[in-house]
Each structure stands twice: as C-alpha cells, then as structure tokens.
Amino acid sequence: MQARDVETSFARNSPLSVQVEDDRTGLSLETLKRAFLDNLFYVQGKSPDIATAKDYYMALAYTVRDRMLHHWLSTGQTYRRTHARTAVYLSAEFLMGPYLGNNLINLGLYDLFEQAMEELGLNLKEIMDQEQEPGLGNGGLGRLAACYLDSMATLEIPSLGYGIRYEFGIFEQAFHDGWQVEKTDQWLRWGNPWEVRRPEWAVHVKIGGHTEGYTDHQGRYQVNWVPDKVVRGIPYDTPILGYQVNTANTLRLWRAESPESFDFDAFNRGDYYGAVNSKIISENISKVLYPNDDKLEGKQLRLEQEFFFVSCSLQDMIRLLMSEGLPLEQFPEKFTVQLNDTHPAVAIAELMRLLVDDHEMAWDLAWEITQKSFAYTNHTLLPEALERWPMYLFGSLLPRHLEIIFEINRIFLDQVRLKFGPDNERIARMSLIEETGGRYVRMANLACVGSHAINGVAELHTELLKETVLKDFYELFPEKFVNKTNGVTPRRWMVLSNPRLAKLIDQHIGTAWPTQLDQLSKLEAYVDDPAFRNEWREIKQANKRFLTARIERLTGIKVNPDSMFDVQIKRIHEYKRQQLNALHIITLYRRLKQNPDLEITPRTFIFAGKAAPGYFMAKLIIKLITAVGDIVNRDPVVRDRLKVVFIPNYNVTNSQPIYPASDLSEQISTAGFEASGTGNMKFALNGSLTIGTLDGANVEIREEVGAENFFLFGMTADEVTALKASGYQPWQYYEENAELKGVIDLISSGFFSGGDTETFKPLIDNLLQQDRFTVLADYQSYIDCQDHVGKVYQQDQENWLRMSILNAARMGKFSSDRAVREYCKEIWHVDPVSIELQEYSKMVAHIQEGAI
Ligand SMILES: *Cc1c(COP(=O)(O)O)cnc(C)c1O
C-alpha cells in the first residue's frame, strides 16, 4: 500500500498526471476498474482467483468511498470555517439501510459503476446484495431518522446525526414451524467499510455513585458527582451524502469501551480477571438494540444506553463549539438539537449538568440555553410506549440528574401554579415526577418543559397530542406545539428501489423530481396517454415478476404475478391489525369452500414484519398468518386463487423490492393509534393504492390523492373513542355477524392448527373479550371495502391504472425534503451552506506545525 501511495501521489503532482487518472477519484471506466482491482488486491488482500463475493463487495465499497471523501472533508472544513449553524438529530435509532446503492445514486455514478462491473464480468446488483445493512433501529422511528439525514444532506443543511453503534442491531427473523425465531444480527462480522473510528475524540461518561455539595473559591454552592463507574465513548463516523450535491454530512455513532486505564485498582491488586471483567461490563452498553417498537422496556441497561449516547454527543458538541473558538453561551446559536422521541430526553438534564457543574454557569442562563437548544418530536400516543423510569433506578444511575430534574420541576410547578392556581390534580399530572403508585421520572414531561418546540408527526397525531397525552402542556405552552408531517426520501424509495419507474418519469417530466417531488404532478398530463399507461402497467408487472422470483427463493412458494399483490409490511403490532387482514383472508377462503366456483379476484397476500421477542400476541398473529397460509396455499379448492406468503426478516434491504411490486397497500391501524406511518407513503409513491383507515398520515395522503383514489373504511378516531366510552362489547359483533362468526369459529375449531384448539385461543379470547383495537367493530366495513377493491381490480383495470398513476403523481407533499424544510424554517432556523470541493493538493499541502 505504501509503495502504491507514493506512486499515485507522485502521479498527482507530476505533469504526467493529466494522462494518469487518480485511482481514488478518477471516473473513467478504465480507472474505476483499476481502482476496484487495486482495492481488492491491496485492501482486501485478495487476488480474483480466491476472492469471495464479500471481497468484491468490500473492494467496491472502498472504491465508492474513495469518491466520497473529498465531499466529506470539504464539507467539514467549510462548516468549521463558516461556523455553520448545525441541526443535530439525536436518535437512539438510525435504520439506514444498505449504503452502497444509495451512495452510488447520490454520487450520480450508479450507471457508470454498473458498466465497470459488467466489463469485469461482475454484476453490480449481485455485489450490492452482499451488504449487511446496519439494522440499528426497529421500524418507522429509526427509518425516519435515516430519511431525514438523506434530506438534510441533499438540502445542504449542516447537520450531525448522533446515535449508538450497536454491535448487534435488530435481530434477524427466521421461522420454525410457522413461529418467529430470533437470531442475533452480526452486521459487523465482515467489517464495515463506511465507518471511520475516531478514538482521538473519545469522551468519558460517568455512571452511578453519589453527589457531594461544596462551596467553591467564590463562595458559591457547587455539586460534585462522584460516579462509581466511568465508560469511554468512541465515535464512529459515516459520511452521509446528499443527492447530486457536494455536501456529505456525518452520522456519528458511539461505541462504549472501558477507559484506557480500566479498573486500575483491580490491576494493582493483581486482579487481572477482575479488570478484564470490568472492561466487558463497560462494552455491554452499546452491545445490543432493544427490539421493542412502541413499547418501553424499563431496563437499567436501556437507561444507560440513552444516557451514554446523549452525554457523549453533548460533550462532543461542546468540544466542537470550543474548537471553533466560540463561547459556551453560543451553544444554541451553533446547534439546534432535535430529540427523536424521549429516548434522548435526558439530554435536557445532562446539558444543564455540563453547563452548571462542569462549566460553572449560573442556573438561569444554563436553563435559557437549554430550552433554546432542544426541540422534541413525539412519536406515539400509546401509553405503554411513554418512557418513565422508576425513581430509585434513575437516581442510582444518574444521582446528579435526578437532583437537577427536581430543581427544574420545582421551578416549573411554580410556573404552573402561577398560571392555573392551586389545581393539585393538574400539578400531579404535569409534574416531572409521577407519585401515584410508585415514583417515576416522566421523560415526556421533561422533554416538553425543556424544549422550545414540540411536534407530532402527522396532523391528526398533533391534534390528538394536544387533546390527550400532552393536553396540560398544550394549555400551558400552546406556542410550542407544531405539526411536522413525516416524509420519505424519494432517492432511496423510488430512484434506487424502482429504477424502471424512475426512468419512465424522467422521460416524461425531466429529472428534477427526485429533489422537487411536487413536480410529479406533471404526470397527471399523461394519465390518459395510452403509451405512458402501457409502460406504467408493464413496469408494475415487471416489478411483480421480480418479487415473485424473490418470494420463491425466500419461501419456496410460487405466486402468480398476475394476481393482485395485497401487501402489509410493517412491525407486527395489535394496533396495526395484521389480525384483521388475516380475518379477511379466512373470509375469502370460507367463501370459496362454500362455493368453489365463486368468482373472486385472485390475490397474493404478502406479509412481512418482526414481532418484539417478548410480545406474545404479536408472535401469535404471525403464527396465525403462516398457519392460514399453510392451509390456503395447498387446498385444491382454492385453485391458486389465494396465496399467503410471509417474507422473512423484514428490513430495509428486503422491503425495497416489495413497495414497487405492490398493488394494494394495507394501512389498516385502529384510527388514533398510528402516529403517522411512512410505509404508507412509500407504497403510494410507487403507484400502489391504499386501503386504509383515517389514521396518521393516511388522512393527508387521502386528501392529496383524492378520496376517489383511496379505499377508505372503518371508524374514525372519535368514533373509536366514543364506542369505547359507551362500553364496547366485541362479542356482540361476533354474535350478530354470521360471516365473522364463521371465521372466528373456524380458527377456534383448530382448523388452522392441526385440530388443536389451544393454539389460537389467547388471540380469539382477546378479540371477543377485550379487543382493545376494535378489530371486530371494523370487520364488516373492512370486508365491504375489500370486496369493492377486488371488483375494481378485476373489472375496471383501466380505472385502477389511472388511480395508480394519480396516487404517485400526487405524492409530492410526502418527500422528507418537504418535512426537513419545514423543520428548518419553523423550528431549527438553519440555512443551507453550499459546499465547494476544496482542491486536494491545497487540503494536504500543509502538515500542521507541532502535529507530532
Ligand atoms: C418504512 C419502514 C418502516 C415503517 O413502516 P410503517 O408501515 O410506517 O410502520 C418500518 N421498517 C422498515 C424497514 C421500513 O422501511
């Protein structure tokens, strides 16, 4: 490697360099091929005769990364030089998806690399398939963070994402006898070519212990936190490219290690194993992602994770501020910090501690800075997801933060009393400490008090927040509340994952739409154009054939690409109501059994999604779906008119070929429970029609695409609330609806469980007795709507096609670029900074004096 470096740097500086393109930056086909083979040889240490598919992937990843570094370093340099105001996204999850294809798209080099690989006898897509995606998130919340990073870079917004570099991301889902089984996600096994470890910017994080008050030299009361352990956070940086701009921002993920001189005491006592053990304990903090979606797991390690990455990130921001020579008071001018849910909300107490204790700032000034710095995004109304930590646990890990929270609370509750008088119930609800039935620290309350802006993620969700879980806070701080409807990046969710459709669109409306998604409306002019319509239909068919082959490879099931692809892919949760979808399948199956010659629209029901490992009911829903598939897929009476497939291990990689191949998008959550959804947007953008409730962003999607192009069913959120208030009795729906009764009885009879009546009993009992998510109440409305969907698909294909085109054409609003622009304008007040690529020779011209 050394010799090669000398050679290329010589080539760079010599007059000959006009002929010899640089290995690391050159873009001719010859150079790309040579650079790829060089990386295979010199970085992977392999010659082609023994190289594996993984080696080719790594060599290609390094070749692409080389072509990003100039962007990345120029971006950093520009931000430092201009003291750029920076949007910081603090998130416990980043579900980034595979990088290689996305980086090629954003660099504008996809086709070129495809050709270079082809000339070497390799296939780019097959190489891309080798990538193990960093599954550092559970679902929508983590994927939203990823879409926002993509949009911030594309809009040239100076930004930093901070999170945790989990060694094991979300588990891999496999199946045994139709049940989900979890396998650890060893995404780092083959190495990660996109990250750069930065040990020189490591920080220390204190945990546990106690506090001691003292009076400083100026006679002021100060507090010293004496921890019982210290862990070291090491940053790992990944460049986040914008689409066809020079900007490359940074995603900085923290890994926990033990401090350099780990457990010195143990060493001195000669306790070598004890010392090593403390190292292992430190590393546990960033070991594994908690696999719960919309559910709090109140474990000590989880709180340690949250505090760990928050403290690392805030210390890092202060370092960056100081390295630019700016005073601490400028923190809220330099940074605006978005809290992605309450997972990082302890940042409010930690910034106070850093300012007041470590930097000896007066409380009032520190509080002003803190409130100015933070904004909070709420992601759910589900009470079981609202984070609250037992006070004894919180205090034992973060004794100083508990004191700070008490002080924030004391001042805050005085403010509440001032405004509302001695309303003790209101004070009890708003207190940062819950005192009824055990004492807890309420993270959402902390986030509301410590932030200058609070947002929900769809219009309905924000309204419900103001009316329900955050009502008291809305009454006190109405000016803090804003809505920011979610969005998705059209680069990954269209350009990369649906290249044929993207190309068709390019040919008709030009190539600006990936960054100006509103331009898709120009497609409306072609909605009656026969050639365009044909191509649109052809592309959907081709995408379906591609998915058909993939389904057979992954599940062994042969599906018919001419059937309707009816798709529900998302985390498995009772509120998302995959069980309602299953009831529909069984309804159709029973109709065929009763009348084998019944005319029905052939459908392929496609499911994918993980259940949290400890969520029994979600796992049982998966088992129900696979069990129904086992019967339906084999029953000769069905004659292949119905097929049910469960695609294993839903993640970004596996989802990308599904959205473009879908005809019908299932967005059937109980109204009032899905905060926004983003899967709904990916489907509609790719020309899939939605069957859905008035929930989350479905409401706005329907508004945009037009009610006539959306299959609506079910109760509204208000109707759900009213039904429950009036005493919902689900079994009445069962008793009064013969078809529903037949379906439920068929499950209860053991028909789908080999005669065993126990397997699905908990699910059926739950539906008949509680049915918290009003599945039975919405059943008939759903079935009627599905019957209508089937008819339109079968009998009015021209209209279906028209609706498909109009859905895509009217999705402009749901670009994450629009969402990020709104955050910038209304919450962050951050402006774009365009990046000029610095000249390489100038960037490396001067070794800093005293560098070594
Ligand atoms: C988009 C996406 C989600 C969110 O899907 P919803 O249908 O909005 O719940 C979850 N997981 C992955 C991998 C995604 O790509």
- Could you read off the pLDDT of 806-835 as tens digits, one per residue? 999 999 999 999 999 999 999 999 999 999
Mutating to test ligand 1, I would choose from 570, 665, 669 the residue with most ligand atoms within 8 A of its C-beta, which is 570
* Ligand 1 nearest atom to the CA of residue 488, by list position: 1
Q: Whose CA is nearest to atom 1 of ligand 1?
A: 679
Q: Which residue has the tokens 């908990």?
A: 762
Ligand 1 centroid to residue 344 C-alpha, Å: 21
Ligand 1 centroid to residue 140 C-alpha, Å: 5
The helix/strand/coil state of 404 is helix
Mutating to test ligand 1, I would choose from 578, 655, 695 the residue with most ligand atoms within 8 A of its C-beta, which is 655
Tens of pLDDT, residue by residue over 398-424, are 999 999 999 999 999 999 999 999 999
Tens of pLDDT, residue by residue over 603-629, are 999 999 999 999 999 999 999 999 999
Chain centre distance of CA 629: 29
Q: Whose CA is nearest to atom 3 of ligand 1?
A: 140
Residue 241 pLDDT > 60: yes
Ligand 1 centroid to residue 681 C-alpha, Å: 10
Residue 11 pLDDT? 42
* Ligand 1 nearest atom to the CA of residue 576, by list position: 9
Q: Whose CA is nearest to atom 5 of ligand 1?
A: 679
CA distance 648 to 550: 11
Higher pLDDT, 675 or 2: 675
Tens of pLDDT, residue by residue over 292-322, are 998 999 999 999 999 999 999 999 999 999 9
Tens of pLDDT, residue by residue over 646-666, are 999 999 999 999 999 999 999
The DSSP element (H or E) to which 337 belongs, if any, is strand 335-340
CA distance 607 to 140: 17
CA distance 751 to 739: 16
Q: Which residue has the tokens 């589900």?
A: 382
Closest CA to 709 of 813, 809, 803: 803
Q: Whose CA is nearest to atom 8 of ligand 1?
A: 677
Cα–Cα distances in angstroms (integers) from residue 241 to residues 120, 333, 512, 716, in the given order: 27, 25, 18, 41
**N-terminal to C-terminal alpha carbon distance within the chain:** 23
Q: Whose CA is nearest to atom 4 of ligand 1?
A: 140
Q: What is the DSSP letter of 495?
A: I
CA distance 481 to 851: 49
Cα–Cα distances in angstroms (integers) from residue 804 to residues 5, 414, 437, 663, 852, in the given order: 53, 56, 52, 8, 62
Residue 274 pLDDT? 77
What crossing angle do the helices spanning 698-705 and 459-467 adopt, rounded to 10°?
Answer: 140
Residue 259 pLDDT? 87
Residue 266 pLDDT > 70: no
State the average pLDDT over residues 35-60.
Answer: 97
CA distance 297 to 385: 9
* Ligand 1 nearest atom to the CA of residue 571, by list position: 9
* Ligand 1 nearest atom to the CA of residue 609, by list position: 11
Mutating to test ligand 1, I would choose from 138, 143, 649 the residue with most ligand atoms within 8 A of its C-beta, which is 143
Tens of pLDDT, residue by residue over 136-178, are 999 999 999 999 999 999 999 999 999 999 999 999 999 999 9
CA distance 506 to 98: 24
State the average pLDDT over residues 272-276.
Answer: 77
**What's the CATH code, domain 497-814?**
3.40.50.2000
The helix/strand/coil state of 792 is helix
Ligand 1 centroid to residue 95 C-alpha, Å: 10
The DSSP element (H or E) to which 333 belongs, if any, is helix 331-334
Mean pLDDT across the chain: 95
Ligand 1 centroid to residue 669 C-alpha, Å: 14
Cα–Cα distances in angstroms (integers) from residue 614 to residues 63, 295, 370, 574, 610, in the given order: 42, 10, 37, 14, 11
Q: What is the DSSP letter of 576?
A: G
Mutating to test ligand 1, I would choose from 173, 571, 690 the residue with most ligand atoms within 8 A of its C-beta, which is 571
* Ligand 1 nearest atom to the CA of residue 667, by list position: 7
* Ligand 1 nearest atom to the CA of residue 654, by list position: 13
Q: Whose CA is nearest to atom 9 of ligand 1?
A: 570
* Non-local CB neighbours of 743 within 8 Å, separated by 6+ positions: 583, 586, 587, 590
Residue 14 pLDDT? 47
State the average pLDDT over residues 505-527.
Answer: 98
The helix/strand/coil state of 371 is helix
Ligand 1 centroid to residue 478 C-alpha, Å: 31
> Cα 697–698–704 angle (5° rounding)?
90
Query: Number of C-alpha atoms within 13 angstroms, CB side, residue 460?
Result: 23
The helix/strand/coil state of 658 is coil
Mutating to test ligand 1, I would choose from 94, 95, 674 the residue with most ligand atoms within 8 A of its C-beta, which is 95
In the chain, % of residues over pLDDT 90: 92
Ligand 1 centroid to residue 10 C-alpha, Å: 49
User: Tokens at residue 539, please?
Assistant: 């592309």
For the domain made up of 87-486, give the CATH fold: Rossmann fold (3.40.50)
* Ligand 1 nearest atom to the CA of residue 678, by list position: 8
Residues involved in catalysis? 379, 570-571, 576, 678, 682
Ligand 1 centroid to residue 497 C-alpha, Å: 15
Residue 265 pLDDT? 67
Ligand 1 centroid to residue 139 C-alpha, Å: 5
Ligand 1 centroid to residue 490 C-alpha, Å: 15
* Ligand 1 nearest atom to the CA of residue 140, by list position: 4
Helix intervals (H) in 155-186 = none
Q: Whose CA is nearest to atom 10 of ligand 1?
A: 139
Query: Number of C-alpha atoms within 13 angstroms, CB side, residue 189?
Result: 11
Q: Which of 16-30, 207-221, 478-492 has the lowest mean pLDDT?
A: 16-30
CA distance 468 to 473: 10
Ligand 1 centroid to residue 461 C-alpha, Å: 17
Residue 4 pLDDT? 37
* Non-local CB neighbours of 446 within 8 Å, separated by 6+ positions: 342, 345, 346, 348, 349, 405, 408, 432
Q: What is the maximal distance between C-alpha atoms in the chain?
A: 92
Q: Whose CA is nearest to atom 6 of ligand 1?
A: 679
* Non-local CB neighbours of 832 within 8 Å, separated by 6+ positions: 155, 156, 157
* Ligand 1 nearest atom to the CA of residue 677, by list position: 8
Q: How confident is the model at residue 21 (pLDDT cuts 50, 70, 90)?
A: confident
Q: Whose CA is nearest to atom 11 of ligand 1?
A: 139
The DSSP element (H or E) to which 173 belongs, if any, is strand 172-176
CA distance 651 to 679: 12
* Ligand 1 nearest atom to the CA of residue 651, by list position: 13
Ligand 1 centroid to residue 650 C-alpha, Å: 9
Ligand 1 centroid to residue 547 C-alpha, Å: 18
Mutating to test ligand 1, I would choose from 144, 567, 569 the residue with most ligand atoms within 8 A of its C-beta, which is 569
Ligand 1 centroid to residue 570 C-alpha, Å: 5
Contact between residue 294 and residue 383 where contact means Cβ atoms under 8 Å apart: no
Residue 262 pLDDT? 55
Q: Whose CA is nearest to atom 15 of ligand 1?
A: 652
Q: How confident is the model at residue 279 (pLDDT cuts 50, 70, 90)?
A: confident
Residue 208 backbone zone (phi > 0: left; psi -120 to 50: alpha; other: beta): left
Instruction: Give the residues surrounding ligand 1 with Cβ less than 6 Å away.
Output: 95, 139-140, 143, 570-571, 651-652, 655, 677-679, 682
Residue 270 pLDDT? 72
* Ligand 1 nearest atom to the CA of residue 682, by list position: 1
Residue 263 pLDDT? 58
Q: How many residues does the chain have?
A: 852
Bridge partner list, 160: 88, 250
Tens of pLDDT, residue by residue over 350-364, are 999 999 999 999 999
The DSSP element (H or E) to which 232 belongs, if any, is strand 229-241
Bridge partner list, 336: 87
Residue intervals of the chain classified under CATH 3.40.50.2000 are: 87-486, 497-814
State the average pLDDT over residues 781-808.
Answer: 98
Ligand 1 centroid to residue 143 C-alpha, Å: 7
